[in-house]
Amino acid sequence: MSEIKKIAVMTGGGDCPGLNAVIRAVTKTATMKYGLEVVGIKHGYRGLYLGGSEFVNLTYDNVKNIISKGGTILFSSNKDNLFDYTYEDENGNICHGDVSDVGIKNLKDNNIDALIVIGGDGTLTSGRDFSRKGVKVIGVPKTIDNDLAATETTFGFDTAVANAVDAIDKLKTTAESHSRIIVVEAMGRYAGFLALAMGIGGAADAILIPEIEYDINKVAECLKNNIKRGKEHAIVVVAEGAKPKGGEIFVSKVVEDSPDPIRLGGIAKVVADQLEKLVGLEARATILGHVQRGGSPTANDRILSTRYGAYAVELLMQGKFGNMVTLDGNSMSYESLENVIGQNKAVDPEGELVKIAEATGVSFGR
């Protein structure tokens, strides 16, 4: 057993259904099974830097009812990298640099022996860097995109798909009423897992994903053939990172002070305008945006999040620092943070789900 008596947990990056379930599992496992003290660090790495009131005690009482709550009770930030941080010094001057030692000092001043970091690639990269500096770190992967290569499934994905399919079901009624094409834009960044799952679950006529460059004329041909069969409306799901053959992804803006500055989005409007001209039906674009990752997590995500959180504590108590919790098949496992940073997975263009979708008439524009 590792000599650990007090641990901290924090969430970084974008919010995700199931974060509170992880926090709950960490707190309950640590306190009830091992008798540890647990501290929650608010606002991610910014809270680690600021210390003081950003460090809050977590107990059975303040986590007992949060498993069904969306978002994160510890709040989050996706702009704060303490190894490259913008801050104000005692003279009011704006400075920029590595302030990670301040975060380490705050951990020591609060007698915290180990840190559980819940986040995506940027958050876990800093977790790895703190591990290199001697902090006892365990990472928990978080993304609705399901694109992390080291783990079978990430929590939040199931909820995001359910939210998106529910939205598509609602959009179908207005599409059918007005004989329209509705183009629904999905999150997912450079991977198409979310768009593919919600497209199949929502019975979309076409699904455009980053892994398959699309020909808009082939998408239009599919929709026109459906019209001949008597279906005078359509649902097209497009991933925010999808791109046409020979074209580029659609960047909506660049956030200079973010560790991940590229923001995708807006391709649905481009696709809708093109299909309206090519098919001859009115087309509308709907960007689901943060609706996908909001609200209460599904039962599956609550269970998966609980497994991730509980196992993170087990790894700490076994002294297996510097690792990230993973799901290997149906078993909990772990992989070194050194090996998982930047290792993303993509949809297989010849995989089972793509082939099944094509067999049922879905166009990928190829």
**Which amino acids are annotated catalytic?**
145
What single letter denotes the amino acid at residue 128? Answer: R
107 within 8 A of 49, measured Cβ to Cβ: no
Q: What is the C-alpha separation between 108 and 130, in angstroms, rounded?
A: 13
Tokens representing residue 19 in the block? 């974060």
Within 13 Å and on the Cβ side, how many CA atoms surround 22?
35
b (16+ CB within 10 A) / e for 101-137: eebbebbeeeebbbbbbbbbbbbbbbbbbbbeeebbb
Picking from 97, 105, 104, the residue whose alpha carbon sits closest to that of residue 81 is 97
- Paired sense of beta strands 37-41 and 55-58, if any: antiparallel
Cα gap 75→10, rounded to integer Å: 9
The type of residue at 70 is G
- The SS3 call for residue 88 is strand
Residue 187, both tokens: 């999150």
